[in-house]
Amino acid sequence: MNTPVFVISGLLESGKTTLIKNMFLSPEFKAGGPTLLILCEEGEEEYEREFLTEANITKVVVEGREKFTPSLLKNYEALYHPRQVVIEYNGTWEMSVLLDTKPPVNWELASIYSLVNSKTAELYLTNMRSMFMEQISLSSLIIFNRCDDSVNRGMLRRNIKALNMGAQIVFEREDGSIVEETTEDLPFDVNKNVIDISDEDYGVWFIDTLDHPENYSGKKVKFKAQVFLDPNLPKKTFVPGRFAMTCCADDIQFLGHDCRYEMKKLNFKTKDWVDVEARMEYEFSTEYGEDVPVLYLENIRKAPKAKDEIVYFM
């Protein structure tokens, strides 16, 4: 039987210890059997001896990244024979330290969860973007805790989704309750007959089309984009999109949806700037195994390039 490994990542004092304690309040998790808790750093909040005993947890501490080795993990397996492993990961270590360290053959990575302090998230995005984003790039669940009305949730969500589209993102208030999403958080009106996307809001719109198809299915949209043509695309299809910085200046991606057209020829070339009006639908993709956005062109015309050619998510 494989031993599941759960990784809890986040910068110092982001709430990792609190989350791990809460995980063991769940009967299902507690019933998983003897647990090995590997601490790659120790924060202000500690694990009480009574808690560890009651939850059947053995705690070990790794003193520095150079100590996090395959032989150390194999020794842990031989000594403790855990039924599940929880790693409280060091927020200053690259994720490659974890991924490049070969675990015992029966250990299997189950999930990576990330904790973020909402009150300092924008500061880290501005001043330590690469390190901050690298920590959450592989997470299946990202929890922004200590959230109040001053937190720019839309900006944080857009930045995360641009890098890690599959992540589930949760905003949690100081009291632990969940902040519900509303369309009021969007900088454009999804209830208009034509949803007009400004140049600076392209990234917001693109991410929201993936998260909330109910906002756009069957509706008309209008936006400025660059043309992308490729012989591998389906017949009479091009991609209008924008280049976006998802992590750092070295990580630029082209974000756009397939757009079908009926005209005999599309009289534009790749990287031409155009104004696009199209109807949005969602259709099943065999490549992705799910419904994805598809545009149906209604009008296209040459346009001046955007003032800022790169899309940001701030």
Orientation of helix 153-163 relative to helix 118-127, angle to 10°: 60
For the chain (314 residues), the mean pLDDT of every run of 10, in chain order, is 92 84 80 89 80 92 94 97 95 92 95 92 86 87 90 85 82 86 74 92 89 93 96 94 75 90 94 97 91 96 92 71
What's 188-311's CATH class?
A: mainly beta
Write the single-letter amino acid at 228.
F
Separation in Å, CA 150 to CA 51, 144, 255: 35, 13, 29
Is the separation of the CB atoms in 89 and 98 below 8 Å?
Answer: yes
Please, where in the chain does CATH 3.40.50.300 lie?
3-173
Residues in CB range of 78: below 8 A, 6 or more apart: none
Bridge partners, residue 273, by sequence: 226
pLDDT at 3: 95
Write the single-letter amino acid at 164.
N
pLDDT at 177: 87
Burial 38-67 (b: 16+ CB within 10 A, else e): bbbbebeeebeeeeeeebebebeebeeeee
Nearest to 16 by CA among 85, 89, 119, 65: 89
pLDDT at 250: 60
Please, where in the chain does CATH 2.40.50.140 lie?
188-311
pLDDT at 97: 93
CATH 3.40.50.300 fits 3-173, yes or no: yes
Quick check: helix, strand or coil at residue 246? coil
Phi first, then psi, for residue 201 (nearest 5°) are: -105, 10
pLDDT at 43: 66
| Both tokens assigned to 122 | 């924008």
